[in-house]
Amino acid sequence: MWDEELLIPILIGVICLLLIVLGISLIVKYVKKIRKNKNNESIHNKAIMNNNPINYHTNSNDNNVLQEKLKQTISKYENMQNELNLIYSKQIDKLADISKMNPDQAKMLLLNNLELTLKKEKSQLINHYNEITKEEISLRVQNMLINCFESLNEDFVVPKTSFTIKLEDDAVKGRIIGKDGRNKKAFELVTGTELIIEKDPEITISCFNPIRREIAKNVLVKLIENKHIEPSRIEKYFEQESLIIENKINDIGFNVVENQLQMYDINKELYNYVGKLYFRTSYGQNILLHSKECAMLAVSIAREIGVDTEKAKRAAFFHDIGKSVDFDIDNDHVESGVKLARKYNLDDYIINAIESHHEKVPIDNIYSAIVKVVDRISASRPGARIISFEEYIQRVTEIETICNSFEGVKTSYALKAGKQVRVIIDPKIIDDDQAIILAQEIKNKLEDTPIINKQPIDVVLIREKRIEIKSDGSAARLIK
C-alpha cells in the first residue's frame, strides 16, 4: 500500500497538473474566440464597402460556390451579348442589301436629307421674320416721315423766277434796240447777257449766269421806267445794280446762315456763296429754298432716328453749295462744292454728303444718307420742279425703247411721268425664274442711261399665260 506521506504530495501534484491543463484549454478557447470575432468584423466591413449582404456563417466552401455561379452568369451574359451583336450585324447587312448602300452611304444620305429639311425650315423662318420685320420697319418709316413733314413749316409751292419782261407799249422795243441796234448792243456788252426781242410785246433776257441775268433784268426795268435809253445810262444803272445785288447777296447769306439756321461758326466768306444760291434755280426750283428745306427735313429725320441734328442740318444745307459757282467755272456743282468745302474747312462728313448725294462716291456716314433722302424728297414733291415737255417725251420714249430691246419682251408702257414702266413678256420664251433675271437686267440698263437714271423707276414685269377657246353656237352644236 501507498505510504500516506507520499500520497498527499502526489495528489497535490495531480491536482496542480489538472488545473494547469484546464487553464491552458481555457486560454486556447479565448484566443480562438478573439480571432473569430476579428474575422467576422473584417467580413462585415468589406460587405458594407461592397454593398453586399452579410452572412457571418459563410465558410470557404460557400464562397467558392458563389464565385462559380458568378463566373457562369458572366459567361452567359457574354454569350447573349455576342448573339445580339451577331443579330444586329445580320440586320445591317440585310438593310444594306435591300437599299444597295453601305452604312457610311446610308449615314451620309440621312445627314443630307436632314440638312435639306433644316435648310427649308430655316428659309421659311427667315422669310416669316423678314416679312414681320419689313412691316414693322415700313410702319416706323411712315411714322417718321409723317412727323418730319408735319414739323416742316416751309411753303410747299416754291416760287419760280421769270426773266421775261412784258411791255405795255410796243414802241418801247424800238427805244431799247436804238438806232442801228446801238442800245441793244451796248446793253448786251455791259451786262453780259443776250436780249431776245420777238414780235410779241415782251423782251426776254438770256444768260447762263443767274447773277448777271438778275442785274440785267433790274437794269432793263429801270431803263423802261426812265424811258431815256442810251449807252451811258445803261452803264450807270449797271454799276448801281451790281453794287445793290452784291450787298443783297451778302445780306441774304447772313440772314439764312445766322438768323434762320442759327449756325454761327461758319466762315463769313461763305455767306456770299450762300446768298448766290438765291438766284440759282434747277428745273425751276430755287436752290436756296431747296437747301433750307433739305436742312429742315434733315433735322426732323435726325431727331426721329436719334442722331446729331446739328450735323444733319449742316450736311443737308451745304450739299448743293457748288451750284453757287458752277456757272462761273468749268466744273459740275459737286466738284465745285467739294472745292468750296475744303477751302473753308467744312467737316469731312459734309464733304462726303456733297460728293455722295449724286453717287460720285459711296456714302460713309449716316448724315450723307440722310442728305440723299431729303434731297430726293424736296426735289420730287409736286410743284418743286418743272421739266420741259420735250425732255419728258424723250425720257419716256427712251425707257420704252430700252425695255423693248430685250428678248422675250412683247411691249412696254412708261407710266406716271416715267416713274414706272410695265413690261409685258412672252410666257413661252420667259419662265418665272428667267423673269427675275430679266427684271434685274432691265433695271441695270436703265440705271446706266444718263437721261433716265436721275430718279428711281419701278419696273413691273407682267407674265401671263392666256388660254382662249370659243364656244359653239346652237346651230353648230345641232350640226355636230
Domain residue ranges in the chain: 123-152, 277-380, 389-462
* pLDDT on residue 148: 60
Q: Kindly state the cell numbers that stand for 184.
A: 441793244
CA distances 58 to 38, 51, 148, 474, Å, are 15, 17, 97, 112
CATH assignment of 389-462? 3.30.300.30
Torsion sign across C-alpha atoms 55, 61, 67, 71: negative
* pLDDT on residue 382: 55
* pLDDT on residue 255: 92
Q: Kindly state the cell numbers that stand for 112.
A: 443630307
* pLDDT on residue 56: 44
Phi-psi region of 100 (alpha: psi -120 to 50; beta: other; left: phi over 0): left
Whole-model pTM: value is 0.51
Of 425, 426, 400, 401, whose CA–CA distance to 413 is shortest? 400
pLDDT values of the chain reduced to their tens digit, one per residue, 480 residues: 445 555 566 666 667 667 776 777 777 777 677 766 666 665 555 555 554 444 444 456 777 888 888 888 888 888 888 888 788 777 777 766 776 667 677 677 777 777 777 777 777 777 777 777 777 777 776 666 666 655 554 444 444 444 677 777 777 778 888 888 888 888 888 888 888 887 777 888 887 778 888 888 888 888 888 878 888 888 888 899 889 989 999 999 999 999 998 998 889 999 999 998 888 877 777 888 889 989 988 998 888 888 899 999 999 999 989 888 876 666 678 888 899 999 999 999 999 999 988 888 888 888 988 998 888 887 766 555 555 555 667 778 888 889 999 998 988 888 766 778 889 898 888 888 888 888 888 888 888 887 666 667 888 888 877 677 777 777 767 776
Strands 420-425 and 458-462: parallel
* pLDDT on residue 165: 74
Residue 435 burial by Cβ neighbours in a 10 Å radius (0-12, 13-18, 19+): middle
Strands 281-282 and 285-286: antiparallel
* Cross-strand bridge partners of residue 425: 409
- Strand (E) or helix (H) holding 477: helix 474-479
SS3 472: coil
- Strand (E) or helix (H) holding 251: helix 231-254
* pLDDT on residue 352: 92
Of 152, 291, 279, 104, whose CA–CA distance to 207 is shortest? 279
* pLDDT on residue 82: 84
Query: Taking a C-beta distance cutoff of 8 angstroms, is the pair 194, 230 a contact?
Result: no
Q: Which CATH number fits domain 277-380: 2.40.50.100, 3.40.50.970, 1.10.3210.10, 3.60.15.10?
A: 1.10.3210.10
Q: Kindly state the cell numbers that stand for 335.
A: 466738284
